[in-house]
Amino acid sequence: MSCAEEEDLTAYVDGELAPPHRARVEAHLGTCAACQRTERLLRVTVARMAEVSAFTPSPSPSTRREVLARLDALPPTWRERLAALLRPGVLVPSLGVAAAAVLAVLVVGRGGGEPALEEWDPGALEVATNLELVEDYEVLGLDSSDDLEVVENLHELGMP
């Protein structure tokens, strides 16, 4: 059966325990032969790992080129797209176009409320001029041009 302290032995060997914790483990090691054996085994193993790590891969120039080519093939991120849009070469002409558009909207907006009198449709202008007469026609229920002519010339018929 293993001791509760066994879990701490690797951290102890690695020097990763805080001083009070380390002191507790040391006190336990003084009295537990099984933990002493385990601690020795761990210490030897950790030391031997230094030989294993002599294995050192290094990048070849072609590996670096491949990775850089993959970066070039990446779709631009929103940050890159934003940066591209904010470049002076793009930003200045774009601002010019935007300013012209805003100006055009303002000019059209200001002038667009009431068209000049000469821009009116002639038919509509005539109706407007004779609005009172048109309303009378509608009250009378007249719609043919003959009836309208009669109404227009009522005064010639000697009506009171």
Interface contacts to other proteins, rule CB under 8 A: 7-11, 14, 16, 38, 41-42, 44-46, 48-49, 51-60, 62-64, 66-68, 70-71, 74, 77, 79-80, 83
Q: Which is nearer to other proteins, 32 or 148 (CB)?
A: 32
Q: How far is the CB of 104 from other proteins (least distance, A)?
A: 36
Query: Could you tell me the two tokens for 132?
Result: 């009172």
Query: Could you tell me the two tokens for 141?
Result: 């229920």
Q: Which is nearer to other proteins, 11 or 148 (CB)?
A: 11
Q: How far is the CB of 89 from other proteins (least distance, A)?
A: 17
Q: Which is nearer to other proteins, 45 or 130 (CB)?
A: 45
Q: How far is the CB of 95 from other proteins (least distance, A)?
A: 23
Query: Could you tell me the two tokens for 11?
Result: 């951290």
Q: How far apart are the C-alpha atoms of 58 and 116, rounded to whole Å?
A: 80
Q: How far is the CB of 42 from other proteins (least distance, A)?
A: 6
Which residues have CB under 8 Å from 43's CB, separation 6+? 13
Q: Which is nearer to other proteins, 41 or 107 (CB)?
A: 41
Q: For residues 42 and 16, is the Cβ–Cβ distance under 8 A? A: no
Task: Note the Cα 14 to chain centre separation in Å.
Answer: 47
